[in-house]
Structure 1
Amino acid sequence: MKHRLLPALAACATIAMSLTVSSTPASAAEPAASPSLSASSTLDFGCAAHGAHQLGCFGKLHARRASNGRLAPLTTPGPVGLGPADLQSAYRTGGLSASGRTVAIVDAQDDPNAEADLAVYRNAYGLPACTTANGCFHKVNQNGQAAPLPAADPGWAEEISLDLDMVSATCPSCHILLVEADSPNTDPLMTAVDTAAGTPGVVAISNSYGGAEDSTILAADTHLSHSNVAITASSGDSGYGVSWPASSQYVTAVGGTSLTRATNARGWTESTWSGAGSGCSAFEPKPGWQHDTGCANRTVADVSAVADPATGLGVYDTYNTCGTSFFCDFLISLGLVAGADGWVTVGGTSASSPIIASVYALAGNAVTYGSYPYTHTAGLFDVTTGNNGSCGGSYLCTAGPGYDGPTGLGTPNGTTGF
Structure 2
Amino acid sequence: MRTTPTRRRRLGTTFAATAALAFAGFGAAAHADAAAPSSARTTWTATPCAIPKHKGELACDSFRVTGGLTAFQKQRAARTGVTPKAADAATPSGYGPSDLRSAYGLTSAASAKGAGETIAIVDAYDDPNAAADLAQYRSYYGLPACTTSNGCFKKVGQTGSTTSLPSADSGWAEEESLDLDMASAICPNCSILLVEAKSATMANLGTAVNEAATLGAKYISNSYGGSESSSDTSYDSSYFNHPGVAITVSAGDGGYGAEYPAASKYVTAVGGTALSTSSTTTRGWTETVWKTSSTEGTGSGCSAYDAKPTWQTDTGCSRRTVSDVAAVADPATGVSVYDSYGVTAGWYTFGGTSASSPIIAGVYALAGTPSSGSYPAKFPYTAAGTSALNDVTSGNNGTCATSYLCTARSGYDGPTGWGTPQGTSAFTG
Task: Give the TM bin, normalised by the shorter chain.
Answer: 0.7 to 0.9
Counterparts of residues 16-415 of structure 1 (less than 5 Å): 39=41, 41-47=43-49, 49-64=52-67, 75-96=88-109, 97-200=113-216, 202-222=217-237, 223-263=239-279, 264-274=281-291, 275-320=297-342, 339-364=343-368, 365-366=370-371, 367-375=374-382, 376-392=385-401, 394-415=403-424
- The verdict on how the C-alpha distance between 1:146 and 1:285 changes in structure 2, with shifts beyond 3 A counting, is same
Please report the TM-score for the alignment, with normalisation by the length of structure 1. 0.84
Gaps of 5+ in 2: 20-39, 70-84, 292-296
Gaps of 5+ in 1: 1-7, 24-37, 67-71, 321-338
Shift in Å, 1:93 = 1.1
Shift in Å, 1:104 = 0.2
Q: Hey, what's the Cα distance between the residues in 2 that align with 1:270 and 1:261?
A: 9
| 1:13–1:52 Cα contact (<8 Å) kept | no
- The verdict on how the C-alpha distance between 1:42 and 1:169 changes in structure 2, with shifts beyond 3 A counting, is closer
Q: Hey, what's the Cα distance between the residues in 2 that align with 1:41 and 1:13?
A: 18
**Per-residue deviation, residues 348-387 of structure 1 (Å, max 9, x unmatched):** 1000000000100110132414111100211111000000
Corresponding letter in the other structure for 1:318: S
Q: Hey, what's the Cα distance between the residues in 2 that align with 1:63 and 1:277?
A: 23
Corresponding letter in the other structure for 2:362: S
Secondary structure at 2:107 match in 1: coil
| 2:46–2:63 Cα contact (<8 Å) kept | yes
Corresponding letter in the other structure for 1:374: Y
Please report the TM-score for the alignment, with normalisation by the length of structure 2. 0.82
Q: Hey, what's the Cα distance between the residues in 2 that align with 1:59 and 1:355?
A: 14
Shift in Å, 1:60 = 3.1
Q: Hey, what's the Cα distance between the residues in 2 that align with 1:269 and 1:65?
A: 22
Q: Hey, what's the Cα distance between the residues in 1 that align with 2:11 and 2:245?
A: 23
- The verdict on how the C-alpha distance between 1:270 and 1:13 changes in structure 2, with shifts beyond 3 A counting, is closer
Secondary structure at 2:185 match in 1: helix
CA RMSD of aligned residues (A): 2.4
- The verdict on how the C-alpha distance between 1:84 and 1:9 changes in structure 2, with shifts beyond 3 A counting, is farther
Paired positions, count: 371
- The verdict on how the C-alpha distance between 1:100 and 1:15 changes in structure 2, with shifts beyond 3 A counting, is farther
Shift in Å, 1:73 = 8.8
Identity, % of aligned positions? 54
Shift in Å, 1:92 = 1.0
Deviates more, 1:387-396 or 1:295-304: 387-396
Find the counterpart in structure 2 of residue 11 from structure 1. Answer: 7
Q: Hey, what's the Cα distance between the residues in 1 that align with 2:164 and 2:63?
A: 30
Q: Hey, what's the Cα distance between the residues in 2 that align with 1:393 and 1:236?
A: 19
Find the counterpart in structure 2 of residue 4 from structure 1. Answer: none
Structure showing the higher helix proportion among its residues: 2
The structure whose RCO (Cα within 8 Å, separation 6+) is larger is 1
> Runs of at least 4 residues of structure 1 off by over 4 A?
12-16, 19-23, 38-42, 72-75
